[in-house]
Amino acid sequence: MLSILKTELTDFCELSSVRANINKAYHELESQNYDKVIQICDISIVECEKIKGKAVTLEKEEIANSMFVASAYCKVLKYYSRYWLKLVEGKFKDSWVVLQDTIDNLISVTKFTENHSEFGIREFNSHLNELEKLYPYSIFASSEMVIETKECSICGKSVLDIDCIHIPGNLYWGQIAVTICKDIVFQAVALVKHPMDKRCVMEVSGDNRTEKEKFKLLHYFVENNTNPLKLFTVTELDKYYYNEKYDMVKRNEPCPCNSGKKFKKCCGAIKYERGSHFHIKLENDISLRPLPFSSMLLGS
């Protein structure tokens, strides 16, 4: 549906303003002017809503739906800029939630765009997945609940009502149909690795590490990369590390790991400890900027 941004429609000349603003947003993002990107995207989102309202009035459902996707695309750039503001400020913990906001909007764009090679969608998805790997989060909380009432966000009827023709997740006149849950009874909280919503992070109590120690990968990434549009990859490898705390331990002394065994029959038999090693590779010649989109906007 984003392909509508490539077209010129007589009744919707406002599309040219959205195209120009998105192009400006990418230019400002390349220059790390994040506040400016947010401002431009806010203007574009308002423009998309106006065009969507006009499309509904003229009974052009396809255009109305396309404006929902275009607005979500602008929100991706907006939240991604907010994300980098958090990184620059060193607020790594707060940045995780903003990253999830970016991912949520990109999911909407991806779902309703047929050609993922256009507009940098495929690259953006891959890029955000790599950013998630830089965080020390692996366990999340997921709620278990009983839902008594489910209503359609479009017609307000029960989703079980035969008169409700709307399918959750589909677009109708520029609005996405969702299920509104009411009369919720929470049962339990489960610890999971791959929840739909990763905002509720579980952390180990008593962890006295500093923020820099907890987010050492992210800290390294920010120090060595100031371009928010530069692609990169994260590879996790197994590596053996020599533990210096064993240097002063004698063979017949109790093992420092508190196993109760002698050092020679426990950790003394292992000179190195196994651990994870992360390799971050910056793709110097590859940019996140979608070339077909930028060239189209520039009129070439």
Secondary structure, 3-state, 190-257: EEECCCCCCCCECCCCCCCCCHHHHCHHHHHHHHHCCCCCEEEEEEEEEEEEECHHHCCCCCCCECCC
Please check whether residues 6 and 61 belong to one and the same domain: yes
In-domain check, residue 71 = yes
Residue 298's pLDDT is 34
What residues does 143 pair with on adjacent strands? 189
Please check whether residues 110 and 235 belong to one and the same domain: no
- Separate counts of helices (H) and strands (E) for the chain: 8, 6
Q: What is the pLDDT along the chain (300 residues), one digit of tens a residue?
A: 666 666 667 778 888 888 889 989 999 998 999 999 999 999 999 999 999 999 999 999 999 999 999 999 999 999 999 999 999 999 999 999 999 999 999 999 999 988 777 778 888 999 999 999 999 998 999 989 999 999 999 999 999 999 999 999 999 999 999 999 999 999 999 999 999 899 999 887 777 878 778 898 899 899 888 789 888 888 866 555 556 666 778 888 888 777 888 888 887 766 555 555 667 777 765 566 654 344 333 333
In-domain check, residue 56 = yes
Please check whether residues 89 and 151 belong to one and the same domain: no
Please check whether residues 128 and 42 belong to one and the same domain: yes
Choosing from 97, 117, 135, the residue where a domain stops is 135
Residue 197's pLDDT is 92
User: CA torsion 104→107→113→115, rounded to 10°?
Assistant: 130
In-domain check, residue 147 = yes
- CA 109 to chain CA centroid, nearest Å: 12
State how far the Cα of 136 lies from the Cα of 140, in Å rounded to an integer: 12
Q: Domain count of the chain?
A: 3
Choosing from 106, 135, 164, the residue where a domain stops is 135
Q: What's the domain range around 169?
A: 140-192
Global confidence as pTM: 0.81
Please check whether residues 11 and 96 belong to one and the same domain: yes
Choosing from 149, 176, 192, the residue where a domain stops is 192
- CB neighbours of 62 closer than 8 A, spacing ≥ 6? 1, 4
Contact 37, 102 (CB under 8 A): no
Residue 192: φ, ψ to 5°: -135, 165
Pairing of strands 230-242, 272-287: antiparallel
